[in-house]
Structures are given as C-alpha cells and as structure tokens.
Amino acid sequence: MPPVIEVRNLHKRYDDKIAVDDVSLTVREGEIFGILGPNGAGKTTTVECVEGLRVPDRGEIRVLGLDPLHDRAELTRRLGVQLQAGHLPERLQVAEALQLYSSFYPRPADWRALLDGLGLADKAKTRYAKLSGGQKQRLSIALALIGGPRVAILDELTTGLDPQARRDTWDLIEGVRSRGTTIVLVTHFMEEAERLCDRLALIDAGRVVMVDTPAGLTERARIGQRIRFRPSRPVDDRLLTSLPDVSGVTRQGELVVVNGNDNALNAVTTVLARNQIVAEQLRVEQASLEDAFVRLTGRRPDGPDPR
Ligand SMILES: Nc1ncnc2c1ncn2[C@@H]1O[C@H](COP(=O)(O)OP(=O)(O)OP(=O)(O)O)[C@@H](O)[C@H]1O
C-alpha cells in the first residue's frame, strides 16, 4: 500500500533562517503519526508545506498521491487541517460554523457527534466571540474533522485545554482513527505523544533526529531504567560504571542515581550484594519519552531552539 504522506528531502528557509533542513518522512495508512520537537524545530513549517500552505524551496511531497501545490483543490476535499483560533466571524454561532463547513464536503461527518465528543454540545447556539480559548480550540478540531477527511493534520491539538478536555480530545481522536482516518499530530506534549502516537518523528533544528514508536525512541535513547538508593556504606562509582547494563552514575546528596537498561536493577543489586552493601530506600523509575527527548536533542521539549 503506498504511504498516505511522503515527504522527501524537504528544505525551507525564511530569509537567512533555515527552518527545515532536509526532512524526509513517511506516514502510513491508518496510523497516528506524531511530529515532536522543541519550539522552533520546524514542525509547523513542515506540515504547512504538506498542507500546501507554504512553498518548499526544495523537496518532494505527496499526500494521498497528490501534489499539495498543484492538486490543491482535490486535496482540500480529503485533508482536514486544524486552523489556528481566531479565523471565524465573531457573530457566527458554533452550529452555523459547522453547518457551513459541512456544506463544503460531499460526505461530511455528523457535526452533532463531533460537538458531543468534544464537550461542546451545549455551545451549539453560542457565538464564536463568546467562546473561551479552550472552546475555540475544540471548535477548530471539530472543523478539521467535519469533512470526514482521509487524513487530518492537527497542530498543537490540545494546547490551552484543561486536563479533562485534553483527555476527552484524545478519546475523540482515537475514535476518529478507528474509523479509518490517518492522523498527523504536531505536539510538544510528551504525554500526548506517548498516549496517542503509533510512531513519532523527533525533529530538532530542522532535521529528523529519529522516527520510531514512543517505546522504541525511549529504548534507542538507551535510558531504560533509573535506580536511586542510599548505600548502607560508601560505594565506589566504578563498581557500578563497570557493569555493561549501566550507562551512568550520579549522586544526589546521600543517594546514588544509576541509569541503565532494563537489566540494570538486576545487575546493580547483584554487585551490591556481592560487596555486602545494602541498597536502602531503593526506587526504580522507568525512563519516559521525555527523558529520551532530552537525551536525543540535549534540550527539553518546551525549550527554545538556541539557533
Ligand atoms: N514566517 C516566518 N518568517 C521567518 N521565520 C519564520 C517564519 N515562520 C517560522 N520561522 C522560523 O523558522 C523556524 C521554524 O519555525 P516553525 O514554526 O516551523 O517551528 P515549530 O517547530 O513549529 O515551533 P513551535 O513549536 O514554536 O511552533 C523558527 O526558528 C521560526 O522562528
């Protein structure tokens, strides 16, 4: 089956600023594909090129076999795009907006069900200007999905939503995917990426650092476990760093912090026992996608791009 989205060697600069520097990626039918990266990494520029909203300097893009620039009209019918808040007339009511957008498509989705799923059912008669920021955000998701698109591109899906609305939105997106829509999600929320995405492209400074499943990215950053304990008597770091399953040892006051793969706990407790050292207050944390992100890019997901 041909990929739903194929991006090859995409380049885009703004004046002297290189925003996208040779990005290639492939999105498969029916998956939720995440584009993850710090602020300014080039995520939005990449998806705007895919949507046909920006003209690349170089590279090739196909969406459902179509060229986003030359086949724009055809693609608009099959692609759902979440636009930023503030693009609707202030006096338009929520239901009117959805009915208007429905009329653009041959087989629109059920807008009442969308409103329900997004917790906006009681806002159908509310004017756009009277909606809160989070409600406008949810309406923009509904409008992206109203055409029953084959592919939906959602940029900062749940930014500005409270935790409950965020979880409801995730459920809605999973439902949309289970009915066959392929979804591209631009995000810097780790929890969202981990919960929703089948695969992720980690983008940093305009380049794809890695593409993998959330678990695969964590594994490839080689930070399986973090173990903390207070040794019953002084322990030489070298005892631990010499273990092949251990990647690093640091200290936090009296605590020893060991990073290693999924076998590190076993290896550490064995070597301590052999040396008659008891690991008191022992705690084991599984590394998160956020740990992997920091390890792979050297910065936090919501941190600025230093270029
Ligand atoms: N219209 C523009 N003119 C000039 N520079 C731009 C323009 N749009 C984006 N940039 C710059 O290009 C780089 C990539 O921006 P882009 O918005 O694609 O990143 P992003 O990963 O989506 O970031 P964020 O998470 O902050 O939205 C940034 O350094 C940004 O400042």
For a mutational test of ligand 1's pocket, the pick from 10, 18, 44, i.e. the residue with the most ligand atoms closer than 8 A to its C-beta, is 44
The four Cα atoms 67, 73, 78, 84 give a dihedral, to 10 degrees, of 100
Residues with Cβ within 8 Å of 237's Cβ and at least 6 positions away in sequence, in order, are 249
Percent of the chain with pLDDT over 70: 94
* Per-residue model confidence as pLDDT tens digits over 158-192: 888 888 888 888 988 998 899 899 999 998 888 88
For a mutational test of ligand 1's pocket, the pick from 15, 18, 39, i.e. the residue with the most ligand atoms closer than 8 A to its C-beta, is 39
Look at residue 195 and tell me whether its pLDDT is greater than 60.
yes
What are the DSSP calls for 97-155, one per residue? Answer: HHHHHHTTSSS---HHHHHHHTT-GGGTTSBGGGS-HHHHHHHHHHHHHTT--SEEEEE
For a mutational test of ligand 1's pocket, the pick from 14, 208, 300, i.e. the residue with the most ligand atoms closer than 8 A to its C-beta, is 14
27 CA to centre of own chain: 14
Number of H-type helices and E-type strands within the chain: 11, 13
Look at residue 230 and tell me whether its pLDDT is greater than 90.
yes
Q: Map tokens 């590190």 to a residue.
A: 264
Q: Is 84 in the pocket of ligand 1 (CB under 6 A)?
A: no
Q: Is 9 in the pocket of ligand 1 (CB under 6 A)?
A: no
The ipTM assigned to this model is 0.96
How far apart are alpha carbons 224 and 243 in whole angstroms?
15
Which residues share a beta bridge with 185? 34, 154
29: left (phi over 0), alpha (psi -120 to 50) or beta: beta
Q: Tell me which amino acid residue 122 is.
A: D
State the alpha helices, DSSP H only, in the chain.
Answer: 43-50, 72-78, 94-102, 111-117, 133-145, 163-178, 190-196, 214-220, 237-241, 264-274, 289-297
Residues with Cβ within 8 Å of 273's Cβ and at least 6 positions away in sequence, in order, are none
Q: Is 35 in the pocket of ligand 1 (CB under 6 A)?
A: no
Q: Rounded to the nearest whole angstrom, what is the distance from the C-alpha of residue 40 to the centroid of ligand 1?
A: 5
- Give the domains, in start order, of the chain with CATH numbers: 5-83+148-219 (3.40.50.300), 224-286 (3.30.70.1340)
Q: Is 247 in the pocket of ligand 1 (CB under 6 A)?
A: no
Q: Rounded to the nearest whole angstrom, what is the distance from the C-alpha of residue 39 to the centroid of ligand 1?
A: 8
Q: Rounded to the nearest whole angstrom, what is the distance from the C-alpha of residue 22 to the centroid of ligand 1?
A: 15
**pLDDT value at residue 85:** 60
* Per-residue model confidence as pLDDT tens digits over 262-280: 789 999 999 999 999 999 9
Q: Could you tell me the pTM of the whole model?
A: 0.79
Q: What is the mean pLDDT of the chain?
A: 89
**pLDDT value at residue 275:** 95
Q: Rounded to the nearest whole angstrom, what is the distance from the C-alpha of residue 42 to the centroid of ligand 1?
A: 6
- Tokens representing 305? 């791009």
Sheet with 17-27: strands ordered across: 17-27, 5-14, 58-63
Is 287 in contact with 223 (CB distance < 8 Å)?
Answer: yes
Over the range 85-105, which residues count as b (16 or more CB within 10 Å of their CB) and which as e?
Answer: beebeeeeebbbbbeebbeeb
Q: Rounded to the nearest whole angstrom, what is the distance from the C-alpha of residue 23 to the centroid of ligand 1?
A: 15
Sheet with 79-81: strands ordered across: 79-81, 151-155, 182-187, 32-36, 199-204, 207-212
Q: Rounded to the nearest whole angstrom, what is the distance from the C-alpha of residue 206 to the centroid of ligand 1?
A: 10
* Per-residue model confidence as pLDDT tens digits over 89-122: 899 999 999 999 999 888 899 999 989 888 899 9
Q: Is 38 in the pocket of ligand 1 (CB under 6 A)?
A: no
The secondary structure of residue 304, as a DSSP letter, is: B
Ligand 1, residue 305: give the atom nearest the CA. Answer: 29
Is 197 in contact with 185 (CB distance < 8 Å)?
Answer: yes
